[in-house]
Amino acid sequence: MTTPNNGDTVTIDYVLKKGDGMVVGHTQEVGPQDIELGAGQIFPQVEAALTGMQVGDEQSVSIESEQAFGPRREELVIDIPRGNLPADPAPQPGMALRGQQSDGSEVTLVVVSVGDDVVKADANHPLAGEDLTFDVTLRDIKQAA
C-alpha cells in the first residue's frame, strides 16, 4: 500500500474537538478536504500523521494549545470607544468586526460586551488557549507529478 509524501495531495475527512471533547469543526459541514502535504495548509502534527497513513486509515492527533493557536492573551481584549464604530449596524455581543493593526494588517475582533460609551472586543483566535484533537481519516492520495 502507498503512503503519502510531501508534495502529494491527500483527501481527508476530519472531526476537530477541543480538549473537553466539544466538536468545533468537521468535514460533514464542508465535505472532504484536499491538503497538499508540505504546503503548510494544516497543522504540522496532522501532516506528520498523514505521511504514515494508508487510504482508509484513521488516526487521532492531539495538539497542545501552544502548538495550535497559542495561549489566550488578555492584552488582545480591548475597549473601543463607541464613537469609533459605525452606528449601523449597532454592535452586538458575538458580532465580528474587522480592524487594522498598526502594521497595516487586518485583524478580526469579536464583540464581547457593549456599553453606552465602550465596546469590548476580543482579537484572540476563538480556539486560543485550547488543546485540540483531530480525528482524521485518509480518503485518497494524489501523488505529486
The tens digit of pLDDT for each residue in 63-96 reads 999 999 999 999 999 999 998 988 888 899 999 9
Q: Does domain 74-122 have CATH number 3.40.1190.20?
A: no
Query: What pLDDT, on the 0 to 100 scale, is given for residue 110?
Result: 95
101 confidence band (pLDDT: 50, 70, 90): confident
pTM of the model: 0.80
The domain 9-69+127-142 is classified under which CATH number: 2.40.30.170, 3.10.50.40, 3.40.50.720, 1.10.1040.10? Answer: 3.10.50.40
Exposed, middle or buried by CB within 10 Å (0-12, 13-18, 19+), for 21? Answer: exposed
4-47 pLDDT per residue, tens: 999 999 999 999 999 999 999 999 888 999 999 999 999 999 99
Across-strand partners of 119?
80, 114
Q: Of 18, 109, 125, 112, whose CA–CA distance to 72 is shortest?
A: 125
Query: What pLDDT, on the 0 to 100 scale, is given for residue 59?
Result: 97
Query: What pLDDT, on the 0 to 100 scale, is given for residue 88?
Result: 87
Could you tell me if 137 and 10 are in contact, meaning their C-beta atoms sit under 8 angstroms apart?
no
Query: What pLDDT, on the 0 to 100 scale, is given for residue 1?
Result: 64
Distance set, CA 53 to CA 3, 124, 137 (Å): 6, 33, 9
